[in-house]
Amino acid sequence: MRVVLVTMALRVPTDPSHWITVPPQGYAGIHWIVANHMDGLLELGHEVFLLGAPGTTPVAPAVTVVDAGEIEDMHAWLNSPEAATIDVVHDFSCGQIDPDRLPRGMAYLSTHHLTGKPKYPRNCVYASYAQRAQAENDVAPVVRISVNQARYPFRADKDDYLLYLGRISEWKGTYEAAAFASAAGRRLVVAGPSWEEDYLARIMRDFGDSVDLVGEVGGDRRLDLISRATAMMVLSQSTMGPWGVVWCEPGSTVVSEAAACGTPVIGTPNGCLAEIVPAVGTVVPEGADFTVEQARSVVAALPGPDAVRAAALERWDHVVVAKEFEAIYHDVLAGRTWT
């Protein structure tokens, strides 16, 4: 099939003359999701047109990077003669593409990666049952975020730090991760962008002695941090999130990324995490009230790296997940629709 993958088109915050590429230069979950899914489609023999990430280096001859990032340019390309031979548009842009502006009859589906209802619910696939329930939908397909093991180095011997990797925000539970690490007597490495200064100041005031702030990471540094950590901390909190709805962790890219490296996950039950963490780690309650005994026993009982990686690949391997989407592409081409 000739598949268009549309990523969320975003400019690099520190260098707006460039677009975030696939894979991304730094923090950007959707761009990693698209990178791993593209790998899966290519292994299944499909041709991919990547829209929304100008400047991306194609990973294979079967990839065409379309030079369109502005929303109007993306719609124009989808309506151009070049796009006339496309079989299906798979839209990860979370509302940038309006399906009503596509050429008549062009097969279309989207994948939702935010909390709350999608802007265009037609033919939307969710990353978790919790996310789908929050969108008040009970018929749409649920397909997990995939991971290509070739992109994530396995490491059996771990260092003794815990890792927080992501946006440093209240709903992502960075403060609670620091509280847990402090109770467990471990250092917490905190990697990611910080746009909420008061929140970060509160973390450093209460747990600064055991937190190593390393800023946003990319490339080998990011992989090294993930693969060496004792555990990835994903203590997502069901507090008010960025779009005026209670945060429900939608799919959590870092869970499959950590697990593919053999790094177990400690997560709350918020959103998707109750569905995916038990296979690769341990679920702990929301909030920051961890006793020393509780935190230490959670760390001591984590599953081993081999079991974690095997569980991740069984469930979320990029080819396994690409086959699930391939079946949905065929359904959409056959005229199936859902909202």
Do 115 and 241 touch, CB atoms closer than 8 A? yes
Phi, psi dihedral angles at 52 (to 5 degrees): 100, 5
- 222 part of the interface to ligand UDP, by CB under 6 A: yes
21-50 footprint of ligand UDP as x/- string (CB under 6 A): -----xxxx--x------------------
Cα distances from 171 to residues 114, 166, 177, in angstroms, run 13, 11, 12
Q: Report the residue number, 108 or 126, with the smaller CB distance to ligand UDP.
A: 126
- 151 part of the interface to ligand UDP, by CB under 6 A: no
| Residue 95 to residue 112: CA distance in whole angstroms | 9
| Residue 220 to residue 226: CA distance in whole angstroms | 10
Q: Report the residue number, 258 or 332, with the smaller CB distance to ligand UDP.
A: 258
Q: Report the residue number, 88 or 231, with the smaller CB distance to ligand UDP.
A: 231
Q: Which of 21, 134, 253, 268 binds ligand UDP (CB under 6 A)?
A: 253
Cα atoms in the 13 Å half-sphere on the side-chain side of 43: 15
Measured between alpha carbons, how far apart are the two ends of the chain, in Å?
Answer: 24
* Segment near ligand UDP (CB under 6 A); pick from 101-109, 211-219, 300-308, 325-333: 211-219
Tell me the closest approach of the beta carbon of residue 304 to ligand UDP, in angstroms: 22
* Segment near ligand UDP (CB under 6 A); pick from 34-42, 73-81, 160-168, 284-292: 160-168
Tell me the closest approach of the beta carbon of residue 55 to ligand UDP, in angstroms: 17
| Residue 154 to residue 263: CA distance in whole angstroms | 8
| Residue 109 to residue 40: CA distance in whole angstroms | 17
Do 78 and 106 touch, CB atoms closer than 8 A? yes
164-193 footprint of ligand UDP as x/- string (CB under 6 A): -xxx-----------------------xx-
Q: Report the residue number, 8 or 78, with the smaller CB distance to ligand UDP.
A: 8
* Segment near ligand UDP (CB under 6 A); pick from 20-28, 35-43, 49-57, 71-79: 20-28
- Give the closest residue to 129 by CA, choosing from 3, 18, 276: 276
Angle at 115 between CA 238 and CA 120, to 5 degrees: 160
Q: Report the residue number, 26 or 173, with the smaller CB distance to ligand UDP.
A: 26
The footprint of ligand UDP (CB under 6 A) covers 26-29, 32, 165-167, 191-192, 216-218, 222, 252-254, 257
